[in-house]
Structure 1
Amino acid sequence: MTIKPLSFAKMKTTPISKREVDSEGMDFAAPYQAGSGFENFLCSLPNLGCAADLFHLRDAIVTAYRHKHQVILACGGHVLDSGLGPLICRLIEQRIISGLALTGAALELDVEIAIMGQTVTSRERELNDGHYCLTEETGCLINDAINYGATENWGIGKSVGKRLLESEFEHLNHSIVATAERYGIPVSVHPAIGADAFGMHPAAHGESLGASSFRDFRLLAGMLAESSHGVILNIASSVIMPRVLLQGLDAARNVGKTIEGLTTAVIDPAASTAAITDVVERLSQPDGQGYWLSGPDDILVPLLFASVIEALGDEVI
């Protein structure tokens, strides 16, 4: 068979005046003038794509703050590894953040920051003999706190937060867990046994770990039960936090709580399909709005909250 090139002579066309408008000229980016300030920088951004979603998310956080609705941050380990801890601590102090949910990896990194003011290598097999590397001080502090906290019916977040505040570590002001405990902000921690190093430390006890993490899941469900018209941000966690958030919200609704008007967002350049489905689509239903900001959290999170602070002005402490 001989294939002939297709003729386009009879191709139908549409007048441009009848085409649907995709973007207005007023939404295009504008040149930034040096020295004109942060507000003018924000105005120079296009009101399209990721920037437009960031502005919508900013407005939702500002509205939630003004009406005393929940703003909950769910964080994976990269949030701490990329140096965002001091920023989140300040947001806790300013009462912009009302609740935190952390993966086990995020907890480990936060404790390391409290102890040393830095994080250690992410390479888990760093010993020449091939043995799995467990950090002694981190594992001891976390598990000792959990083991004691379980006897007091505390969750992991509260147990570790109290232990950090009892310590004399030099860098506590950069620990989000310690700062949250100091300001009475609830922190839930959701470890994955077998994945988080502190769960394999010799000081770990499964009974304490299970009881404390279960209490923290109930705490998160309690936060979500009071989150109507609030904001839930899932930052740099594509597996654990999206599912935990969705299950926590389902649990709250199952026992009769009404949650409506949620604004949800994933901030992660490599978000999984499950994260987008669970957080952006399902978590915001039936009458909320979800967003996926598909850029690096170490740029987007500071930009987002700087825009929130700029909008609130003297309203924040």
Structure 2
Amino acid sequence: MGEISKNNPAKLSLDKVTTYHVWDRKNLVTVDDLLKPGIDPAPEYENPELDELAGRIVRAREKGRPVIWSMGAHVIKCGLSMYVIELINRGVITHVASNGAGSIHDFELAYLGGTSEYVPRAIEDGTFGMWEETGRWMNEAIKEGYRQGLGYGQSLAVFVEKNKDRFPYRDYCIFYNAYKKGVPATYHVTIGTDIIDQHPSADFAAKGYTSGNDFLIFCHSVSQLEGGVYLNFGSSVTAPEVFLKALSISRNLGYTVKDITTANFDIIPLGDYRKEVGQDHFHYYYRPRKNIVNRPTSLGGRGFYIEGNHKATIPNLYNKIMKRLNREV
């Protein structure tokens, strides 16, 4: 070990981290828990703005305009993957975006048929997130994608495609279904937030490069958003920050992105969400309110805030979209 100084701070090595095989792990979510669109009834949920939003989504697609679906990992943990997949397959969703956790839960469902470990006990003994197959395979996929110049989401999908025998549940995987349909699936990650960063196989240069490519892919989709719809489900930090930067880049480069519809779905009651709030109110610091609902639509279009549990809002949104497309639910 070299001499420690202000120019050479001490750091830990991951080389001796102990990992564990995942096969006997108890999973809080399995493929058997996933809700089935058109089969499982949607919970009762009434919100007239959801009707208007569904209409805007359908009109956008009828005019060939994009619908970007951004989400946190809880959409998967709530058992709603098949709704996203079905909307991809129906040609409604034209881009899926998520964070690192979203990619991990999706990846684990594809190979293990289950995801979401029990954290409280695992964090006490240092076993949390130390799952050999998840860390090694995802980092292997990211490093291979890095070598090929791919984005993060495409790296994972290509890895699944090349190793289908390892992924018997891939039909339940959002990024893989998006890949098959030619729909971009981008992941906007942070170093140190994801369990795969804890593993000896982690390569932070590869992770940063591939997610950086995904950001540029996302920027392109946002640049085409005129007349389209941007939806965000539950991501209260990553999605609103990434979206605002992508929108700024698009307008800086001269793309017209004014007449847009945005919507944020969450459980936080905001009251009159279109009303400006000052810094003395805690709602001021809730990023989606400003970065998704209000500021991006200042030049035109409309922003929505749909309050409710994903288990209620997403199935009901799906049903309203399908009815407007004159298809059976």
| TM-score, normalised relative to structure 2 | 0.78
Matched, 1:85 2:74: no
Matched, 1:187 2:185: yes
Shift of 1:128: 5.6
| Alignment correspondent of 2:161 | 165
Matched, 1:68 2:64: yes
| Alignment correspondent of 2:11 | none
Q: Residue 179 of structure 1 aligns to a residue in which SS?
A: helix
The C-alpha deviation readout for 1:127-179, integer Å capped at 9, x for no partner, is: 66345432221112211111011111101000001111222222111100100
The residue type paired with residue 144 of structure 1 is E
Q: Residue 297 of structure 2 aligns to a residue in which SS?
A: coil
Q: Is the 8 A contact 1:165 1:172 kept in 2?
A: no
Distance 2:118 2:90 in 1: 31
Q: Is the 8 A contact 2:45 2:312 kept in 1?
A: no
Matched, 1:228 2:226: yes
The residue type paired with residue 273 of structure 1 is Y
Q: Percent identity?
A: 30
> Which structure 2 residues correspond to residues 99-114 of structure 1 after superposition, within 5 A?
99-114=95-110
1:228–1:141 distance in 2 versus 1, CA, 3 Å:
same
The residue type paired with residue 236 of structure 1 is G
Q: Is the 8 A contact 2:45 2:313 kept in 1?
A: no
Q: Is the 8 A contact 2:69 2:230 kept in 1?
A: yes
Q: Is the 8 A contact 2:129 2:198 kept in 1?
A: no
| Alignment correspondent of 2:237 | 239
The C-alpha deviation readout for 1:80-133, integer Å capped at 9, x for no partner, is: 100111111111111110001111011110011111222132517516634543
Q: Residue 97 of structure 1 aligns to a residue in which SS?
A: coil
Q: Residue 186 of structure 2 aligns to a residue in which SS?
A: strand
The residue type paired with residue 156 of structure 1 is Y
Distance 2:209 2:142 in 1: 9
| TM-score, normalised relative to structure 1 | 0.81
Q: How many residues align?
A: 272
1:75–1:122 distance in 2 versus 1, CA, 3 Å:
farther
| Alignment correspondent of 2:198 | 200
Distance 1:53 1:131 in 2: 44
Structure 2, unaligned runs of 5 or more = 1-37, 270-284
2:114 to 95, 118, 121: 118
Higher RCO, Cα 8 Å, sep 6+: 2
Matched, 1:276 2:289: yes
Distance 1:78 1:45 in 2: 19
| Alignment correspondent of 2:55 | 59
Distance 2:85 2:161 in 1: 14
| Alignment correspondent of 2:304 | 291
| Alignment correspondent of 1:263 | 261
> Which structure 2 residues correspond to residues 14-33 of structure 1 after superposition, within 5 A?
none
Distance 1:125 1:291 in 2: 39
The C-alpha deviation readout for 1:37-74, integer Å capped at 9, x for no partner, is: x9xx99x986xxxx111011111111011111101111
Q: Residue 250 of structure 2 aligns to a residue in which SS?
A: helix
Q: Is the 8 A contact 1:125 1:133 kept in 2?
A: no
The C-alpha deviation readout for 1:167-222, integer Å capped at 9, x for no partner, is: 22221111001000111101110111111111222111111111111111111000
1:175 to 173, 176, 179: 173
Q: Residue 294 of structure 2 aligns to a residue in which SS?
A: helix
Report the RMSD for the aligned CA atoms in angstroms.
2.3
1:150 to 146, 152, 164: 146
Q: Is the 8 A contact 1:261 1:284 kept in 2?
A: yes
1:128–1:269 distance in 2 versus 1, CA, 3 Å:
closer
Q: Is the 8 A contact 1:224 1:252 kept in 2?
A: yes
Shift of 1:236: 1.0
Q: Residue 325 of structure 2 aligns to a residue in which SS?
A: helix
Per mean C-alpha deviation after superposition, the further-off stretch among 90-99 and 119-128 is 119-128
Distance 1:74 1:245 in 2: 9
The residue type paired with residue 318 of structure 2 is F
The residue type paired with residue 246 of structure 2 is G
Q: Residue 125 of structure 2 aligns to a residue in which SS?
A: coil
Which structure 1 residue ranges, 4+ long, deviate > 4 Å from structure 2?
none
Q: Residue 126 of structure 1 aligns to a residue in which SS?
A: helix
Q: Is the 8 A contact 2:83 2:314 kept in 1?
A: no
